[in-house]
Chains A and B, each alone.
Chain A
Amino acid sequence: MTLFGPLGLSLAPYIRSSRTLRRWIKPFADWYVGLAGYRKVGLRYDDLLVEERDDVQRALTRLTPREAYDRAYRFKRASQLSILHTNLPKDQWTKPEEDVRYLKPHIEDVEKEENERKVWDSVHVERK
């Protein structure tokens, strides 16, 4: 079970559930996203997830062909910008409404399925 990183334990659901906390912390979170700079090279947050993991690989196979193609395109564009040591022009930065967590639901499904398999593999059976 992952502890740290974007796929690990997080206070975000708790903060989102409370209106006061959300009001105070959201601006700070938005500033941090801008500072991280991934939107300036045209990437989404889920493009940053570590993909050298079995569960993320399984989740990647569940993307639609269009989603997979767009992801590959974003990587190619960001790699080229990295070589040129520049960012995209401001009008081409990823917009907040485009920065959708497209991979997270698939990773959660995969984790749920793997846990279910572990349960079934170690279940104790009794005939009623």
Chain B
Amino acid sequence: MFRTSAARRASRLARNFATVVDTAGVKVAAVDNGEATSAVTFLVKAGSRYQNKPGVAHALKNFAFKSTSKRSALGTIRESELYGGVLSSSLSREHLALTAEFLRGDEPFFVDVLSSFLTNAKFTRHELQEYVAPVCESEATAAAENPASRAVELAHILAFRQGLGAPLFSTADNHVTVDYIKDFASSAFTKDNVAVLGTGVSQETLSKLVEQSLGSLASSGSLSSPASTYFGGETRVDSHHGPQTVFIGFGKTGAFSPELAVLSSHLSPQPSLKWSKGLSPIVAEIPETASGQTTEDVKAAGKAAVAALKEAGNVKGEELKRAIAKAKFAIASSAEGRNGLIATLGPKVLSGAASTLEDTLSSLDKVQASALSQATASLLKTKPTYVAVGDISALPYADELGL
């Protein structure tokens, strides 16, 4: 009795946003799997690639849930805490996400909190100075102290220059003022730039609430970002905290490429079984005794990575099947759970594409060995992006690694 009902319940679990309703110009999608808590995310196309001045997107993200015409900052926090909700905002290069997680039944209040930031935030000067700027500064410092995130940030600048290469974080040197933030907010917060995603709420409730609260938004804004172009380059940065870090990248712009996803899963050193060495060709080349602490180890690992990448075009047969399966699992599991669902399918909803992973997974199934070797060869022809963070006198140069 219990087993059949569990099976019936499992088969009815929604794994993607079934319908995307256009509510007064805003895309609204909701899925309800019967969780005890609900979450609503406002996904806005206000990532760092759209900012007109460096650091403005980061400052806007940290201005979330401060004073609006309706509620002060203190009132927002106190009232949300009394309801037992959790408010958060996050920024990526493409999107700004404002999320509220709360108990079922409190949707009107939290949708109002999120939408009042979009429609009537005050952006006062003293809040910028007292609350927002210190948080921006500490987040930027934390990212700069971490060699891996610093390397990725520099790699983006080298690889894409404008747009995707715009800095993700904001420091005091950027001199961001409330006027810049207001400008950016007014051009980014428009109906065609916003998607409202809900989990644990019904589509009708969410659509009705969004219609009431976002009805006053402007229809279309002036925010645009040119199509990305890949450049590439090399840089070295001195750093004395954390491990020696080297970033090696090749770039290609355009839509999702299943061949490159398979290539990435073939080379990925993440083992499927914890504590095992894994079957990645990169890990196979690195000697057992390497501790990973010295620049010699980093040089050996870099050489192994480049050699494996050059050989990776010849993958076929069992190895290819293994790589495809790994890639399929990675993509399918990225949409598991509430956060994964929003992170993976949210951007699809916002861009108007089909909000399901079926096409992606079936395109991975169709990858052939010849297509893979072609994609790898054309990728290797592009200019590599090489970033070294650490002891710059000892870390290798790009040509020493075979790039």
Bound-complex Cα distance A123 to B82 (A): 10
Chain B residues near A23 (CB-CB < 8 A) = none
Query: How distant is the Cα of A113 from the Cα of B125 in the complex, in angstroms?
Result: 16
Q: Mark A53-77, 1 if CB is under 8 A from B, else 0.
A: 0000000011010000000000000
Segment touching A, from B70-78, B324-332, B368-376 = B70-78
CB-defined contacts of B3 to chain A, threshold 8 Å: none
Q: Which residues of chain B from 129 to 165 have a CB within 8 Å of any chain A CB? A: 130
By the criterion CB–CB under 8 Å, are B125 and A120 in contact?
Answer: no
- Counting CB contacts under 8 A, is B126 at the interface? yes
Q: Do the beta carbons of B74 and A117 come within 8 Å of each other?
A: yes
Chain A residues, CB < 8 A from B78 = 120, 123
A125 sits at the interface (CB 8 A)? yes
A117 to B77, CA, bound (A): 11
> Could you tell me the dominant secondary structure of chain B's interface residues?
helix
Question: CB distance A113 to B126 under 8 Å?
Answer: no
Q: Are B126 and A116 in contact (CB under 8 A)?
A: no
Contact of B72 among A62, A116, A123 (CB under 8 A): A116
- How far does the Cβ of A120 sit from chain B's closest Cβ, in whole Å? 5
Name the B residues within 8 Å of A125 (CB-CB).
82
Nearest-neighbour CB distance to chain A for B391, whole angstroms, equals: 41
The answer to whether A113 and B74 touch across the interface, beta carbons within 8 angstroms, is: yes
Given the known interface contacts A116-B75, A120-B74, A120-B75, the answer about A62 and B82 at a Cβ–Cβ threshold of 8 Å is: no
Minimum C-beta distance from B66 to chain A (A): 12
Q: Which residue of B lies closest to A121 (CB)?
A: B78
User: Residue on B with the closest CB to A64?
Assistant: B125
* Min C-beta distance of B82 to chain A, whole Å: 6
Chain A residues in 8 Å Cβ range of B74: 113, 116-117, 120
With A and B bound together, what is the CA distance between A38 and B350 in angstroms?
60
- Nearest CB in chain A to that of B75: its residue: A116
Q: How far is the CB of B108 from chain A (nearest CB, A)?
A: 12
Q: Inside 8 A of A61's CB, which chain B residues have their CB?
A: 126, 130
Q: A113 with B82: in contact, given A61-B126, A62-B125, A62-B126 (CB under 8 Å)? A: no
Complex contacts, B72 vs chain A, CB 8 Å: 113, 116
Nearest-neighbour CB distance to chain B for A110, whole angstroms, equals 10
- Distance of A116 Cα from B74 Cα, bound (Å): 8
Residues of B within 8 A of A113 (CB): 72, 74
State the CA gap A117–B78 with chains docked (Å).
9
Q: Which residues of chain B are within 8 angstroms of A64 by Cβ–Cβ distance?
A: 125
Per the bound structure, the CA–CA distance linking A62 and B130 in Å amounts to 10
Among residues 77 to 106 in chain B, which have CB atoms less than 8 Å away from a CB atom of chain A?
78, 82
- A116 proximity list for chain B (CB < 8 A): 72, 74-75
**Roughly how many angstroms separate A114 CA and B126 CA in the complex, as a whole number?**
15
Query: Which residue on chain A has the smallest CB distance to residue B130?
Result: A61
Complex CA gap A65/B27 in Å reads: 43
Q: Chain B residues near A62: list those with CB within 8 A.
A: 125-126
A113 to B82, CA, bound (A): 19
In whole angstroms, how far apart are the Cα atoms of A64 and B355 in the complex? 47
Query: Which residues of A have CB within 8 Å of B126?
Result: 61-62
CA distance A53 to B25 in the complex (A): 50
Q: What separation, in Å, do the CA atoms of A61 and B131 have in the docked complex? A: 13
- The closest CB in chain B to the CB of A58 belongs to B126
Q: Which residues of A contact B75 (CB under 8 A)?
A: 116, 120
Beyond the given A120-B75, A120-B78, A125-B82, please list 14 additional residue pairs across the A-B interface where CB-CB is below 8 A.
A61-B126, A61-B130, A62-B125, A62-B126, A64-B125, A113-B72, A113-B74, A116-B72, A116-B74, A116-B75, A117-B74, A120-B74, A123-B78, A123-B82
Q: Can you spell out 9 A-B residue pairs with CB atoms less than 8 angstroms apart?
A: A64-B125, A113-B72, A113-B74, A116-B74, A117-B74, A120-B75, A120-B78, A123-B82, A125-B82
Give A residues with C-beta under 8 Å from B. Answer: 61-62, 64, 113, 116-117, 120, 123, 125
Which 10 pairs, one residue from A and one from B, show the smallest C-beta to C-beta distance? A62-B126, A120-B78, A125-B82, A117-B74, A116-B72, A116-B74, A116-B75, A113-B72, A120-B74, A64-B125
